[in-house]
Amino acid sequence: MQDNKITIYVSTLCPFSKELIDDLNAAKVVFEQKWVDKDQAAFVEMYNLTHKKVTPVIKLSVPEIIVLVGYNNEQKTKLQEYMKRYFVSESTSDVRNKPLKDWIID
């Protein structure tokens, strides 16, 4: 968990982007957000990752790069699994079975 990082690519008019940001903030997850509708370089970076023009995009920089496109129930489940594996320490293992928005990660 030393250098693991979350970067999200979001847009201001996307309700799923807002939901993702709200969930990560509620869980006290540290992440970098890039607004693709305000920053052309962020858009190009996102497009190079996904070859798509949709938001949100979640980039997990863990031992490898993992990219999730969208924020539906399937992507939420995948994100929770990756969070458990790469971002939750053993000292907070009791939060591993809670929904993402109920996680408290210090």
pLDDT digit string, tens, across residues 35-66: 999 999 999 999 999 999 999 999 999 888 99
What architecture (CATH level 2) is domain 5-98? 3-Layer(aba) Sandwich (3.40)
Asked whether the beta carbons of 54 and 71 are under 8 A apart, the reply is no
- Report yes or no: 17 and 42 within 8 Å, Cβ to Cβ: no
Which has the higher per-residue pLDDT, 40 or 82?
40
What is this structure's pTM? 0.82
E strand intervals along 1-106: 5-10, 32-35, 57-61, 65-69
Lowest mean pLDDT among 7-11, 68-72, 81-85: 81-85
Q: What are the pLDDT digits (tens) for 88-104?
A: 765 554 444 445 555 44
**What Å distances lie between residue 52 and 16, 45, 81, 86, CA to CA?**
16, 11, 24, 26
Task: Write the pLDDT tens digit of every residue in 22-42.
Answer: 999 988 888 999 999 999 999
Pick the closest to residue 46 from 75, 15, 7 (CA basis). Answer: 7
For residue 7, the model assigns a pLDDT of: 97
